[in-house]
Amino acid sequence: MDNRKLLLNQICGCYDIPEDMKMCDGKLKQKCSVIGKCVFESLTEQQLEYAATDISSNVYLNACPGSGKTEVVALKCAYEIMKWDNTYSGIAIMTFTNSAEDELRNRTVEYLGIQIDYPHFLGTFTSWLHNYVANPFIHIITGYRNKETLDYSFRLIETECTSDFLFSFQTKYSYQSLNKIRANQFYFDLKNKKYIYGGFIYNGQKLLDEMLSKDSWRKKELDELKRDFWKSGFATYEDIELISLYLLQERSDIARCIAGRFPVLLIDECQDLSYIQLQILKCLHSHGTIIHLVGDLDQSIYEFRNIVPDDTREFIKDISMKEMRLTSNYRSNDSIVSASTFLLDKKKYVIGKQEQSVETPLIVLLYKKGEEGKLISKFESLVNENKLNLHNSRIIVRNNSLRNKIYGIKKEKKSVNIIEDYARALFYHYSSYSVGDFQLSILYLARAIHKSFFKSMEHSNSQKLYRPTLMEDNEWWQIINKVKNEMISCEKLRNFDQTWKEWKQLLQQVLLNCIVYNGQKVSPDLGSIRKGCSQKKIKDDIGNDVNENFNCSVETIHSCKGMSLDAVLFISAYSNSGNNNESGSHWHDWFATKNGKVRESNRLAYVAFSRARQLLVLGIPNPDSSPIDIEHKRILTDAGFKIFLI
């Protein structure tokens, strides 16, 4: 039986693809009716081969952009779950974001016909690690005991947390301008064997490195502080991964238990695996767990979190994984696929399957400093001229600094300030440019409420909106909504032309009788205005509450991952100052490999390029002082772009 018929029989209950879909009575007939043909008829041989491959072999599925990876993974998971015959062990299917989890779950359930349940798991890597390794077991090596509740779950504390209880977990001695360091402000980097500083002080890492190098006793102090932190039941996200690895390495009986509970781990978006997560997988593999990795290492773009594709390549080699490939890109036309591959300086093996509907799919627009608005208007005109969907097109930038410049949002200062959090919450509420901005508004508001009303109470992390641990979720949401409604109802608070001093006085009045907790009114403590800012206008620090005069949303490269867009405008920074550190902000960084080695700047551009279906436009600066030269023009034309001056 070939792979197509094998999967068709197992998943749909049919033995062959019917000639007339109206006569089909298979389990997926509704799904098939949506696309107008049998689902299994539309799958390629590569997709079918992976879906039917032996689950007991370690496999790396190298999936190019637009290859239908999520659909294939969902099909594979449904196929294996249907065949699974062990009551007490299951498959753990993992990804890295909640949105990716939801998408994968929906598609898998569509094939299964039932919800994914015990003994299997589908969720993020973090939730799997916390639920099955950290919370049940790491108290064994940290010594944490909660005698009152007998609940040994750790409480996650984020780096920016400044709650009062953390004064109990800070160094005895000062570290120059870093002052006394709190236990949540640093973590141990296992790969580089050093402590990483995560606080707000500029050059904090350099200072910490210098002091640890100069005074050997300081490392012992940090070690002991971390152990006390853990023993009290607190940890950062990085701590949890490190302790979990220590546990699995020190307690082979527990490692064997977890490997027996989950004999197969399937990790989607494997390019996002960190070094320490790979070590956790390697440890479980040594105790019998089979690993399936799915992803595209050329889309690894989290180097700032010390995630590099070479670590995953080494892992794949170490455990002798079989490599399989998906090389058909159904998202982009072949011109865009060719330009994307050109960035990586590799022989093209991916084929663009999207039929080209525009005459010129690759365009460069040369723009002058301060003319970003003119550039965006020209892009929108091109989208309309080519009869593409403007609302399914995006402007993509390297990072939030250029995005904020386009929207008129001022750069946020690193240290947390309560009044500024309230102001930013209101700013993002009124000028929400995306779902992410709306969520950011709630996040700023929740943090501000906790710090001004409940600072003395221990609280949860940002994923739970800093909810005080003594409160129920519903109660906390009611408080957030109450404060939000009070602020919105005061029209004067929307006036960012006021000074911080004036705005604080008004905010104090609005919030004065806002919250009742345990039957008593709670008065807010808004803290101090940032030094030197009392007479500054809010709009000068936060931004102007204005609506954008264009229709396309602006995304960063990281936020656009997974998107399929009709058209993309990828804007280069005007200055080439980022070239020395390979920031990927300037277009020179996108095309230049180093001695044939692909760098993160190339991969960042690869992700941005490969979002586009039909039209890819590059916004490239062309300053009068150093206009684009012949050599750089040749690079662009060699990649297939036509160049226009606006």
Last residue in a domain, options 180, 201, 232: 232
Between 543 and 216, residue with greater pLDDT? 216
Domain identity same for 52 and 126: yes
Q: Answer positive or negative: Cα dihedral of 358, 360, 362, 366.
A: negative
Domain identity same for 255 and 121: yes
Report the pLDDT value the prediction gives residue 578, as an integer from 0 to 100: 44
Question: Would residue 112 count as lying in a domain?
Answer: yes
Backbone angles phi, psi at 606, to 5 degrees: -60, -40
Question: Would residue 140 count as lying in a domain?
Answer: no
Report the pLDDT value the prediction gives residue 580, as an integer from 0 to 100: 46
Question: Would residue 246 count as lying in a domain?
Answer: no
Please give the average per-residue pLDDT across 460-479, as a whole number.
86
Between 216 and 541, residue with greater pLDDT? 216
Between 346 and 375, residue with greater pLDDT? 375
Question: Would residue 137 count as lying in a domain?
Answer: no
Among 301, 326, 307, 354, smallest CA distance to 558 is for 301
149-158, 187-196, 443-452: segment of lowest average pLDDT: 149-158
Report the pLDDT value the prediction gives residue 432, as an integer from 0 to 100: 66
Report the pLDDT value the prediction gives residue 579, as an integer from 0 to 100: 44
- Please give the single-letter amino acid code of residue 497: D
Structure tokens given for 112: 């299964």
- Please give the single-letter amino acid code of residue 187: Y
Alpha-carbon distance of 309 to 274, in angstroms, equals 9
Report the pLDDT value the prediction gives residue 127, as an integer from 0 to 100: 96
Answer yes or no: are the C-beta atoms of 58 and 292 closer than 8 Å: yes
Domain identity same for 13 and 43: yes
Domain identity same for 455 and 553: no
Alpha-carbon distance of 530 to 419, in angstroms, equals 9
Question: Would residue 146 count as lying in a domain?
Answer: no
Among 9, 10, 68, 61, smallest CA distance to 44 is for 68
Answer yes or no: are the C-beta atoms of 91 and 5 closer than 8 Å: no
- Please give the single-letter amino acid code of residue 447: R
Last residue in a domain, options 512, 541, 570: 541
Domain identity same for 227 and 346: no
Domain identity same for 217 and 272: no
Report the pLDDT value the prediction gives residue 518, as an integer from 0 to 100: 83
> With 60 as the cut, is the pLDDT of residue 479 above it?
yes
78-87, 524-533, 537-546: segment of lowest average pLDDT: 537-546
Answer yes or no: are the C-beta atoms of 93 and 268 closer than 8 Å: yes
Between 24 and 189, residue with greater pLDDT? 189
Q: What is the CATH number of the domain that holds 260?
A: 3.40.50.300
pTM here?
Answer: 0.85
Question: Would residue 123 count as lying in a domain?
Answer: yes
Domain identity same for 553 and 623: yes
Last residue in a domain, options 173, 205, 232: 232
Confidence class for position 182, pLDDT limits 50, 70, 90: very high
Full domain range(s) for residue 459: 418-541
Domain identity same for 206 and 315: no
> With 80 as the cut, is the pLDDT of residue 269 above it?
yes
Alpha-carbon distance of 246 to 249, in angstroms, equals 5
Alpha-carbon distance of 142 to 119, in angstroms, equals 28
HEC per residue, 603-614: HHHHHHHCCEEE
Among 161, 335, 132, smallest CA distance to 234 is for 161
138-142, 143-147, 411-415, 479-483: segment of lowest average pLDDT: 411-415
Domain identity same for 7 and 124: yes
Between 627 and 536, residue with greater pLDDT? 536
Alpha-carbon distance of 390 to 379, in angstroms, equals 10
DSSP states of 183-196 as a string?
GGGEEEETTTTEEE
> With 90 as the cut, is the pLDDT of residue 627 above it?
no
CA dist list (Å): 340 to 63, 356, 393, 605: 15, 16, 18, 8
Question: Would residue 553 count as lying in a domain?
Answer: yes
Answer yes or no: are the C-beta atoms of 133 and 284 closer than 8 Å: no
Structure tokens given for 12: 């749909």
Reading phi first (left if > 0) and then psi (alpha if -120 to 50, else beta), residue 22 is in: alpha
Tell me how crowded residue 305 is: count the other CB atoms within 10 A of its CB: 10
Domain identity same for 520 and 430: yes
Among 516, 491, 517, 498, smallest CA distance to 419 is for 498
Share the mean pLDDT of the chain.
90
Report the pLDDT value the prediction gives residue 38, as an integer from 0 to 100: 86
Structural domains of the chain, count: 4
Question: Would residue 255 count as lying in a domain?
Answer: yes
Report the pLDDT value the prediction gives residue 513, as an integer from 0 to 100: 83
Domain identity same for 174 and 115: no
> With 50 as the cut, is the pLDDT of residue 601 above it?
yes
Report the pLDDT value the prediction gives residue 1, as an integer from 0 to 100: 60
HEC per residue, 12-32: HCCCCCCCCHHHCCCCCHHHH
Domain identity same for 401 and 439: no
Among 572, 542, 263, smallest CA distance to 423 is for 542
> With 70 as the cut, is the pLDDT of residue 374 above it?
yes
pLDDT in tens, 529-586: 998 899 999 888 887 644 456 778 889 999 898 899 999 999 998 876 544 455 678 8
Proportion of the chain above pLDDT 90, given as a percent: 65
